Structure formats: C-alpha cells, structure tokens
Chain A
Amino acid sequence: MDLRLSPEDVDFRQAARDWIRENYPTEPRPNDGPAMREFDLEWQRRQWAGGWAGVSWPVEYQGRGLPVLHQLIWLEECARIGAPDIDSRFVAVNHAGPTLIANGTQAQKAFHLPKILRGEVLWCQGFSEPQAGSDLASLRTVGVIDGDELVVTGQKLWTSFADLADYQELLIRTDPSAPRHKGLTWVICDMRLPGITIRPIKTLDGLSHFCEVFYDEVRIPLTTVVGEVNEGWRVAMSTLSFERGTAFTHGQVQLAAIVDRLIEIAGERPAYGRSKRGIDDDEIAGRLATARAEIAALRALTYTNALRNQSASQPGPEGSMVKLFYTELRQRLMRLAMEIVGPGSTLRGITHATWDEDYLFSYTETIAGGTSDIQRNIIGERVLGLPR
C-alpha cells in the first residue's frame, strides 16, 4: 500500500489544476431555471473543448479512459478551486452515460454519448412515483407495446431538473402480470414528447430542485429501450450503484471547505448566542475537530473503495456506506454551522448564497438517492449478509 502519487499522477493533477484555474466559471451560478441549465451546460462544453470531459469514460466513447484515481483527483481539484459541482449534469454524466455504456445499443450510444459529453443535453431520472419511493419496484407507470412504440401513462415524482432536461431515464411497468421486479423496462424518454406535463415543486429552501411529471399516452419508440423489455430492474440497479460510488467526491471537498470556514469564523467571533469565541468553547471546538477527523476518514474510505473496486464493472454495495455517512455527516455539520453562524447570517455560504440555504439543502441529501434507512438495509443485507 502506498499513498504517494506517481510522477504521472502528479503531472495529471498539475495539468488539471492549471486548466481548471484558467477555465472554470467564476461568475455566481444561477440558483435554478433555464439560466442555471445554460450555466451548467456551458461549463460542460468548456470541459469538452478543453479535452477534460469524461475523465474516466472509455476512450471509444470519446472519454479520456483514465483510471479512477485520476477521476478522483479531477473531482477534488474542481471542488478545491470552487468550480461548479456536477449537480444538474449528474444524471447525464454519472448515470445515463455509464448506464448506456454498460447496457445500451450501438445506436443509442452513438446518438447520446457524444451529446452528453459535449454539453448539449441534460438528463433527468424518472424512477420515483407517488406510491413508489423507497419501494421502487412497486412503481405503477405503465407502458403498453403498440407496434414499434411503447405507450406510457402514469406519474413520476421528485424528478430532479425534469423541467430543464432533454432526456429522461424512465422506469416503467411493461408486464403487470410478472413478479414485481420482472415486469419493468428502462427506457430513454424525450422530455419534449407530446403528452408529457411537468410541474416544478418548490423545496424547503424556496428553490425548485425537483418536479412531478405526468404521462398521458406518451408514445416512445421501442428502439429507446435500454437492455431488454422487462429487464429494467437489472439496468436500474446498475444505475443506482453508480450513484453510490465516487459520486460524493466533490461534496466531500465541500465539507472540508465548510469546516475550514467554520474554524475560521469560530476563531473570529462568539458562536451564535454564546459569549465565547467558538474555538474557545470546548463543545463547539470538539465538534469541529471531530468533523475534520470524520471528513478525513470519509475521504480515506472513498479512495479505498474506489481503488479496490476499479477492476469491477460496477461499484459494489459498499458505496452505500459512503452515501450514508457522507449525507448524515453533511447534515450534522450544517447543523453545527447553524449553531456557529446563527440563522439569517449575512456571511456568504459555501455552496449556496447563504448559510441558511446550505443548511436547508442538507435535509434533502439523506433522502435523495435512497434514504439513510434504505442504505442501512442495503449494508445490513448485502454487505453483512443479515436476513431480510
């Protein structure tokens, strides 16, 4: 075992750092809407133009084909300098792309993969429904085969960025008589097809991160099915484990930046509602120190999982450990931030305009991508082998 970077790794990091510094967008990122879409896609286009898009995507799909270590370095360097997080590009670059690479037809890959890397399109993920949250396999949106088309009727819920996306990973029920997991199909849905209605939903931070999407006899060509008809569960599961792999690297660096800033603030002024400077307050200082230790350990675990799994075709259930710990830690840390800066602080936030928004956002993360309880189920059953 060795923590040191090889000369090639160091060169890669330096090149990444130099390029990002020259090219990352420094103007503030719009909070939502078409302006945010344009901002995020422009950043993706710049990465493509500079030869930095798809660091770990295979070369045959115009990625860089670099090892996972370089992907981690790239993500960390982006985050360190304060370049935008993957955010609205997440489904396209981290989900749909890898899922198509693993399961798509030649035609699907040829059409979609370049558009994703070049920053021409955003994707969204249409999995959850009103009646199907944690219990994803109970979803009810139906697709009926009619000639060479699927006719889709139903509703999706909590679809992040549905109002801004061009395409959707849509999971539907195509065989209602089959066992729950056997009758699902994963299909690429063009969000501009007739019969689709999208309503944004306002979240607790006053912004809109997700939408409800209605499908009224939407006709989707069968050629857009990824994997086979009724094989959607397997395809969807590969997508979900991508989400739980290296996906939180940028966020982890943000956590480190949040703690750095909180330690700075705690050294300058009394904690909110207290008389001592935060750093002189044993309880606050102890929690800040613990947070630093936990962030270091989370990084160590992320690197360990990523480097040990790189030969596997898809990340294993261990990714759930990172997802669980990262999101819970972020929420704990933002609560500590509220105790240090206080609500309504005029200080600038780290990932949002204000600390209030940073704080409120942390409540969404232990839910999105599978709640903490669901991650604990996965760890208990699939990592530890406990009975269902």
Chain B
Amino acid sequence: MDLTLSDDQRSIIDSVVGVITDVMPIEKVREVLAGNTSPLDVMWSQAAGLGWFGLGLTEELGGTGFDLIEEALLFKEVGRHVTPGPLLATTLAARVAAQGGAAEVAAKLLGGEVRAGLAVPLAGDVVRLVGAAATDYLLVVHDTVAGLFPASAAIDRIPLGGLDELTSREQATVSGDPVAVVSAADDPIAARGSVLVSAMLAGIAEATRDMSVTYAKTREQFGSAIGAFQAVKHRCADMAVAAALADAQVTFAALSVNDFAADAGMQAAAARVVAEGAALDNARETIQIHAGIGVTWECDAHLYLKRVHALRELFGGEAAQRGSLLHAEPGN
C-alpha cells in the first residue's frame, strides 16, 4: 500500500495546473460565462495536445496508459478551478469509442477535433443532456452499459434551466444507433464517471476552503483579521476536515474502482456522499465568510456553489449512492 504521490503524479498535477492557470484562469472562466467561447477552444487544443482525454486509456488504444487515480488528480484540478467545457464527457466518450471499436471517432475525441456531452437517462429514450451544447457526440451512461451516439441522435431538444450558467442542460430523446457501446463488466464507465465527479467535488471543497482561509487572514474587522475570531476559525477548521476526508476517500475510490476491488462500489458511493457534502458545505461557508461580497456576482463563490449542483446530478443521485452504501458488505 502506498498513499504518497509519485513523481509522475506530481508532474501531471503541475502540468494540469500550469495549463489551467495559463489559458483558463478565473478571468477567462468569466469570459466564457459572458458568452465568449474562444478561451475554451484554446484550452481544448492544449488539453488534447497534452493527452488529457486519454490519460487513463492504454497506449494501444491511443492513450497515455495511466490509471483512474491519475485521471482523478486531473479532474480534482478541473474542479478546483471551475474549469468549463465537457472535459469529463469527452474523456469518457474517448474510452467508449476506443474500446467499442470506433477507432476513428476515438482518435478525433482524443485529438480534440470533436467533443462529447453527457446524456443522463431519465425514462425510456428520454434523457437529460448535460454540457452537451455544441458537442459532436453524446455519451449515454447507464449503470450496466454506456453508448456513444452522434449528436444528431438527440431529437426534440428542449433547453432546461439550471443553476450553473457554465453547464448547459436540455431534455431530449435519443433515437438511432450508437457508434460504440461498452458494457460495465468490461469497463465500468458509470463508476469511473462517478469517481471523477467526486474528484471535481473534492477539488471544489479544497478551493473554497483556500478562498475562505485566505480571506480570513486578510479581511480585518474590530481591529484584527477575522480568522482570529473562533466563529470564523472553527468554520475554516471544519472546512479543512471536510476537504481532507473527501480527498482521501476519492483516492481510495479511484484506486478501488481501477483495481475492480470487491468493495469498489461502496468506496465510490462513499466518495460521492462525502465529496458532495464537503463541496456544498464549503461553498456555503465560503459565501458566509465573505459575507456581503460573498453574495455578489463578482465573488467567485457562486461559481463553485453552482458547479456543485451541476455535478450532483451525474452518474447516480443520492438514492443510488444510498443503495450501494446500505447494501455493501458489512465491516468495510
């Protein structure tokens, strides 16, 4: 057992952080928010060039040959920086295309030429499209199977509202044939997706903790930094505990799912529950600690809060996690 970051893992994190701070810092995120998609295009080609979409895919299938844990490290940074764009859907879609025999599509997804959005199955062929605006493919992920469809397969698209302005939501019906299909027994796309969602949530929990701590050290009232007041200090401490638990559990989940461990389902569900709680609580506390400025559009806190809500509806909601946890083998 080894829970320390390897040199490779450290350089993956450094490289991801380097790209994001360079091409998609928070100011650029806000440009995207204002409707200018060109920063996204710049980021997309860099991400593809660095192999983000195939990080966890074997080299034979066109990837870099790392594991789910490395992907989780990448997506934790994506969460931490509220990076926009269908990064997760495209990563998973590339897996499905590559393993489902659609090598050409896989190459285009990996190379950044095309993008994919997610389709959350609702009932029958009706799906909720998440982050699928202006994408070329749709990944429909069921618990047992994942299918990749051309975007044209989605008919009757109706835009839906949503809290996160950076994540589009639509309702649609999927018709037609998939270009690739992968069963969960061969590759658990839903489980991997859920772990990566948890990783993003853990990243959000850390980012909001850091935002709060930084502000608590600089904002002064009553003649001292507000972080000296226990009401604030103890909130920050609770945020730190929540973030640390989420991060540790996401690591356990990523490693367990990758190893097809017997308790992988429980570990992944635990990661979702703990990371969702941490992200939502920490986003809330960040708004509270920033107070007046915290509820403004200008403060980044709402970007995190809204992203949490967008992520929560992917790959099994609360009921599904509850089931996996309650029916897990006793004595973890």
Q: Write the residues of chain A forming the contact surface with B, with a CB cutoff of 8 angstroms.
A: 1-6, 9, 69, 80, 253, 256-257, 260, 263, 279, 285-286, 288-290, 292-301, 303-304, 307-308, 318, 321, 324-325, 373, 375-377, 379-381, 383-388
Q: Please classify how large the interface on chain B is, using the bins under 10, 10 to 19, 20 to 34, 35 or more.
A: 35 or more
A208 to chain B, nearest CB (A): 32
One of B55-63, B156-164, B176-184, B246-254 at the interface: B246-254
Question: CB < 8 Å: which of B233, B267, B318 contacts A380?
Answer: B233
- B216 and A386: CB pair below 8 A? yes
Closest to B241 in A: A321
B134 to chain A, nearest CB (A): 36
- B4 and A3: CB pair below 8 A? no
Question: Is B274 an interface residue, CB under 8 A from the partner?
Answer: yes
19 pairs of residues in contact across A and B, judged by CB atoms under 8 Å: A1-B251, A4-B259, A256-B331, A260-B330, A285-B322, A293-B249, A296-B249, A297-B271, A300-B251, A304-B248, A373-B230, A373-B234, A380-B236, A383-B237, A385-B213, A386-B228, A386-B232, A387-B224, A388-B228
- B4 and A1: CB pair below 8 A? yes
A274 to chain B, nearest CB (A): 17
Q: Which 6 A-B pairs rank lowest in CB-CB distance, beginning with the nearest?
A: A293-B273, A380-B233, A300-B248, A296-B270, A386-B227, A297-B249
Question: CB < 8 Å: which of B232, B259, B274, B330 contacts A293?
Answer: B274
Chain A positions within 8 Å of B232 at CB level = 386
Closest to B232 in A: A386
Question: Is B217 an interface residue, CB under 8 A from the partner?
Answer: yes
Question: Is B326 an interface residue, CB under 8 A from the partner?
Answer: yes
Chain A positions within 8 Å of B238 at CB level = 376
Question: Is B185 an interface residue, CB under 8 A from the partner?
Answer: no
Closest to B2 in A: A2
Question: Is B135 an interface residue, CB under 8 A from the partner?
Answer: no
Within 8 A of A (CB), among B143-158: none
Chain A positions within 8 Å of B295 at CB level = none
B287 to chain A, nearest CB (A): 19
Question: CB < 8 Å: which of A2, A292, A321 contacts B332?
Answer: A292
Name, among B227, B244, B318, the residue most crowded by chain A CB atoms within 10 Å (CB to CB). B244
Question: Is B266 an interface residue, CB under 8 A from the partner?
Answer: yes
Are A292 and B331 also in contact (CB < 8 A) when A2-B255, A377-B233 are?
Answer: no
Chain A positions within 8 Å of B332 at CB level = 256, 292, 295-296, 299
Question: Is B42 an interface residue, CB under 8 A from the partner?
Answer: no
- Tell me the bound Cα distance from A322 to B9 in angstroms: 26
B166 to chain A, nearest CB (A): 28
Name, among A2, A288, A300, the residue most crowded by chain B CB atoms within 10 Å (CB to CB). A300
Given A69-B1, A380-B230, list of 20 further CB < 8 A pairs?
A: A3-B1, A4-B1, A256-B332, A263-B326, A263-B330, A296-B270, A297-B270, A298-B245, A300-B245, A303-B248, A304-B3, A304-B251, A307-B4, A321-B240, A324-B237, A376-B233, A377-B233, A383-B240, A385-B213, A386-B225
B248 to chain A, nearest CB (A): 4
Name, among B217, B245, B256, B322, the residue most crowded by chain A CB atoms within 10 Å (CB to CB). B245
A377 to chain B, nearest CB (A): 7
Question: Is B69 an interface residue, CB under 8 A from the partner?
Answer: yes
B7 to chain A, nearest CB (A): 12
- B224 and A300: CB pair below 8 A? no
Closest to B263 in A: A296
- B322 and A384: CB pair below 8 A? no
Chain A positions within 8 Å of B246 at CB level = 297
Question: CB < 8 Å: which of B9, B216, B326 contacts A279?
Answer: B326
- B236 and A300: CB pair below 8 A? no
- A300 and B217: CB pair below 8 A? no
Closest to B246 in A: A297
Chain B positions within 8 Å of A288 at CB level = 325-326
- A387 and B228: CB pair below 8 A? yes
- A3 and B270: CB pair below 8 A? no
Closest to B318 in A: A286
- Tell me the bound Cα distance from A279 to B69 in angstroms: 34
A60 to chain B, nearest CB (A): 26
- Tell me the bound Cα distance from A253 to B332 in angstroms: 8
Are A292 and B236 also in contact (CB < 8 A) when A386-B213, A386-B227 are?
Answer: no
Question: Is B261 an interface residue, CB under 8 A from the partner?
Answer: yes
Question: CB < 8 Å: which of B4, B225, B237, B248 contacts A379?
Answer: B237
Name, among B2, B213, B255, B261, the residue most crowded by chain A CB atoms within 10 Å (CB to CB). B2
- Tell me the bound Cα distance from A293 to B225 in angstroms: 35
- Tell me the bound Cα distance from A297 to B269 in angstroms: 11
- Tell me the bound Cα distance from A384 to B237 in angstroms: 8
Closest to B278 in A: A297
- B241 and A1: CB pair below 8 A? no
Closest to A321 in B: B241
